[in-house]
């Protein structure tokens, strides 16, 4: 097994896999950051104006789903922007 790993590393495949791992870590960190930021921002929003029972389980589930939806949209925008800006270097190569 160690011989195969060394052989793969010599061919440059390991650096591609390491790049995928780094990208996965960045995606996880960005998603968690924007999830926390969205949750924090939504705490100031008055949901009691829009739902019947703001302390009920349905209202709490709605807040969680809205938080996940907004955080997903914002993190995807940020990650797409980051990816596009990193790809700009290939424009001049």
Q: What is the pLDDT of residues 16-61, one digit of tens each?
A: 677 788 889 999 999 999 999 999 999 999 988 988 988 899 999 9
Report field, pTM of the whole predicted structure over 0.95: no
What tens digit of pLDDT does each residue of 6-16 get?
Answer: 555 555 556 76
Cβ-Cβ contacts under 8 Å for 42 (sequence gap 6 or more): 63, 66, 67, 70
């Amino acid at each position: 097994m160690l011989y195969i790993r060394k052989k793969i590393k010599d061919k440059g495949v390991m650096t591609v896999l390491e790049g995928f791992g780094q990208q996965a870590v960045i995606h996880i960190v960005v998603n968690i950051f924007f999830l926390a930021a969205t949750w924090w921002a939504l705490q100031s929003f008055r949901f009691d104006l829009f739902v019947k029972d703001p302390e009920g389980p349905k209202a709490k589930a709605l807040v969680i789903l809205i938080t996940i939806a907004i955080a997903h949209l914002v993190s995807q925008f940020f990650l797409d922007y980051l990816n596009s800006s990193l790809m700009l270097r290939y424009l001049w190569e």
